[in-house]
Amino acid sequence: MSRLLVLARHGQSDWNLKNLFTGWKDPGLTELGIEEAREAGRRLKALGIQFDIAFTSDLSRAQHTCELILEEIGQPDLKTIKDQALNERDYGDLSGLNKDDARARWGEEQVHLWRRSYDVQPPGGESLKDTVARTLPYYVTEILPHVMRGEHVLVAAHGNSLRALVMVLDRLNAETIPSMELATGVPILYELKADSTVASKKVLDA
């Protein structure tokens, strides 16, 4: 495959397990999360995929996932660029709170609006629209040029920063992107056309 872009959400984190809003907080992977990352690497290795460069966020759960994937495919020393442009959406004042406790405090409807709307910000935090505005320019200027040169590129990041990229790649909009979910530790393979649109998409789930 030429012009290959692989997106991988980090494996399960400790705060995913505890049902906490995480955002820019930095918990590590659980044992399950470590296994999810390794399994992602094994699935990519089974397809014979090797990478030319990797990108990840400024947060350890994404960096650890990236490292584990690269270990499994036999490229532990691959050049990896870390940037907070790929960080998870900042949940602001919700960060560290249990999602059920947040619903009890602010109500189901309000919390749902913060979590699933496109442009409503939680207190002190980012909306998905804000995350797109942060992540997409980085993709266009730093990641996409590598793909368009025919390189194989891995991006290990977060549910919302990757949804920002999927929104563009899959041509979703403000109405359709909020309901789109990315599973932890499941690689998504995109092969791009010469005009940077999608030629093919494959989700490497079990």
Q: Which of 10, 146, 152, 158 is flagged as catalytic? A: 10
Query: What's the CA gap between 156 and 82, in Å, rounded?
Result: 10
7 φ/ψ angles, rounded to the nearest 5 degrees? -105, 135
The CA R_g of the chain, rounded to the nearest whole Å, is: 16
Helix (H, G, I), strand (E, B) or coil at 13: strand
Q: Which of 36, 72, 88, 126 is flagged as catalytic? A: 88
**88 flagged as catalytic:** yes
Three-class HEC string of 133-188:
HHHHHHHHHHHHHHHHCCCEEEEEECHHHHHHHHHHHCCCCCCCHHHCCCCCCCEE
**36 flagged as catalytic:** no
For CA atoms 62, 95, 143, 128, the dihedral sign is positive
Residues classed as catalytic: 10, 88
